[in-house]
A and B are shown apart, each in its own frame.
Chain A
Amino acid sequence: MENLVRENLSINIKIIDLLNEQIKMEAKASSMYLAMASWCEQHGYDHSAKLFYDQSAEEREHMLKIFKFINDNGGMAYAPEVPKVSHEYESILDLYKTALHEEIQVSKSIQSIFLTCRKEKDVASELFLQWFVNEQLEEEQKMRHAVKIYELHGDDVENLYALDKRISRG
């Protein structure tokens, strides 16, 4: 019986389950960034809004990348239910801190699946996830950069909108 499972699946079934969980996480991130884009637009942070619209689209791409990987390798990907996300933030700094925190959670999750691939000797999935490990470093850096800018220079209200322009310059 196991051989037929192996004939049909190129990747480990445990990894497929974990990747389906990761799909939910990417969908949640995509929705959260959309909410953040909305908050930024409402509060006049146009550059940050653009960043979050783009980020939301990227998270959806991440989700689809995993989705295709599962289906292409004989598994079954599940369209995620998207949990409720917050539309309330105390300040632009609070918002970026939340974004950074979420990215760190995603990084941890990716790394944990990566290590499970190793344990299960699922080399193909491990290679697939390598891209995500690197991508997460970039995403964390992006949010950490914004947090730093607002922590260092955000005391002055006048400054807040000037700083918004610096965000997009990265």
Chain B
Amino acid sequence: MITFTLSSNKYQLNFHGKEMLLSFCELLAFRNTINAIDIDSHFYNDHSGIEIVPLCNLKEILILETTDVIELKKIIHAIFTPKEVEVLN
């Protein structure tokens, strides 16, 4: 299971039981890394289905399977999508 929760100005990522604290800029960098993964390529025969992703300025490394990547893309999109009423007010 993957979850993001807020804990006093940091983002706590729980990745299958492993916990990491991300500052906002680390979250931004993580978002960029995840968004840059071409998920379609995972479904070609020669793809290992594994992504190795550095996190928090190389302090951590995550090994992601295809399903993790899909889930993370969804979660991160949700974090950064403001609700209608909150659009830059």
Chain A contacts to B: CB under 8 angstroms:
1-6, 8, 11-13, 17, 74-76, 78, 120-123
CA distance A3 to B81 in the complex (A): 11
Contact-residue size bin, chain B (C-beta under 8 Å from the other chain): 10 to 19
Contact A5 B80 (CB under 8 A): yes
CA distance A3 to B9 in the complex (A): 11
| Least CB distance, A30 to chain B, in whole angstroms | 23
Interface residues of B in 31-46 (CB under 8 A from A): 32, 35
Q: Which of A74, A78, A122 contacts B32 (CB 8 A)?
A: A78
Complex interface: stretch among B22-30, B54-62, B64-72: B22-30
| Least CB distance, A88 to chain B, in whole angstroms | 32
Chain B contacts to A: CB under 8 angstroms:
4, 6, 9, 11, 24-25, 28-29, 32, 35, 79-83, 86-88
Q: Which of A8, A75, A76, A121 contacts B88 (CB 8 A)?
A: A121
Contact A76 B82 (CB under 8 A): no
Q: Decide yes or no: A74 and B24 within 8 Å by CB, A1-B4, A1-B6 being known contacts.
A: yes
| 5 interchain pairs, CB-CB under 8 A | A4-B6, A4-B9, A5-B82, A6-B82, A17-B35
| Least CB distance, A128 to chain B, in whole angstroms | 14
Across the interface, which residues of A come within 8 angstroms of B24, CB to CB? 4-5, 8, 74
Across the interface, which residues of A come within 8 angstroms of B4, CB to CB? 1
Across the interface, which residues of A come within 8 angstroms of B82, CB to CB? 2, 5-6
Could you list 16 further interchain pairs (A-B, Cβ under 8 angstroms) beyond the known A8-B24, A76-B28? A2-B81, A2-B83, A2-B86, A3-B86, A4-B6, A5-B79, A6-B88, A13-B80, A17-B35, A74-B24, A75-B28, A76-B25, A76-B32, A120-B88, A122-B88, A123-B88
| Least CB distance, A124 to chain B, in whole angstroms | 8
